A = this chain, B = another copy of it.
Amino acid sequence: MAPNRAIQATRSDGERSRRAILGVAARVATIHGLQHLSIAQLADEVGMSKSGLYAHFGSKEELQLATIDTAEEIYEQEVYAPARATPPGVDGLIAMLDIHLDHLRRRVFPGGCFFDAAASDLVSTTGPVRDRIVAFQDGWSALIRHHLVAARDQGELPADADLEQLAFDVTAAMALAHALLVFHGSEEALDRAARSVRLRLGRA
């Protein structure tokens, strides 16, 4: 049994250190940019050798994709999971956006929103890394629409409400809050965005 146990211990040590590395990578990427996340730089940040990191991630792209997996897990835990406590509709949408703003305020990722930061960083690229960020943003937009459709169907919004326009307006408030927070350190922008959403959804 000893050899197996040794192998298991190694695997789970490996898994733990992989998770620790990716936790650092997800945070660092929001400051220096996902595009500039390199095995060499990350090795420095976590105090490991480059060859040690290469054992975990074969390439920069693999590291970037694994970092996105981790960022998605963090966002699920910090935003999506608590937001599901409020059922779909105007209240559900406000809850989700408030929790998103709160995760910015709490600096869950030091550089703001992992996905907004990555999108800015990947503007002029193509490939699987950018595709994953687009897919995440599409999922986020779909969720906004899901809340708006529920709100309309429940009679919380007029039957002829322009849901695409509403989705644009609440997303715009989130985008500017993020930009002002990361560029000017303005936490007031988070409050403005929360108020903007309420004004637009008739809950001011």
Contact = CB atoms under 8 A, between A and B. Distances in A.
Contacts of A111: 123-124
Interface in A157-204: 164-165, 168-169, 171-173, 175-177, 179, 182-184, 189, 192-193, 195-196, 199
A32 interface: yes
A31 interface: yes
**Interface of A (DSSP majority class):** helix
Contacts of A123: 111, 120, 182-183
A119 interface: yes
Given A189-B168, A196-B169, A119 B176 contact: no
Interface residues of A, number: 28
Given A111-B124, A124-B32, A176 B182 contact: no
A175 B165 contact: no
Interface string A57-93: 0000000000000000000000000000000000000
A199 to B, nearest CB: 7
B173 A169 contact: yes
Contact of A120 (B120, B189, B193): B120
| Residue of A32, A124, A169, A189 contacting most chain B CB atoms (<10 Å) | A169
A65 B189 CA distance: 28
A192 B165 contact: yes
Interface of A: 31-32, 111, 119-120, 123-124, 134, 164-165, 168-169, 171-173, 175-177, 179, 182-184, 189, 192-193, 195-196, 199
